[in-house]
Amino acid sequence: MDDEQMWLIALINELKQESRSFVDQAFFMGLETMVNEQVTRLEQNTGELDGRIWNPKRWG
């Protein structure tokens, strides 16, 4: 996870800890889960892109 995403998660966590209601807490917890899924998908898709760009079949 890069710095930008770690900073984003930290910011969401700050708001989660400051939450006064159960719904607010649930919202920021769900938001964090969604961002973690974004990060996973960004990493997977970047990996797939790299793999396809460096496909040896396309060399020569």
Partner 1 sequence: MKTLIIVAHPNFEDSATQQFLQHNYPQEDVTWHRLTDQQIDVGHEQALLQAHTRIIFQFPLYWYSMPAILREWQDLVLTAGFAYGRGATLGAKEFGIVVSMGQPVAEYQAGGKEEYTISELLKPLQAMAHKLNWQYAKPLVISQFQYMTVHQRLQLVMQYHQYLTQVGTGFDAQQAWYCAQLQKRIKASDDSEVQAKLKLILAQIQANTDELTELHWTVDMIRDAEET
CA angle centred on 42, ends 40 and 44, rounded to 5°:
65
How far apart, in whole angstroms, are the C-alpha atoms of residue 29 and residue 33?
Answer: 6
Residues 26-45 binding partner 1 (CB under 8 A) are 26-27, 29-31, 34-35, 37-39, 41-42, 45
- Measured distance CA(53)–CA(44) in Å, rounded: 14
Write down the least CB distance from residue 59 to partner 1, Å.
Answer: 13
Q: Give me the residues that bind partner 1 (CB under 8 A), please.
A: 4-5, 7-8, 11-12, 14-15, 18, 22-23, 25-27, 29-31, 34-35, 37-39, 41-42, 45-46, 48-49, 52-53, 55, 57-58
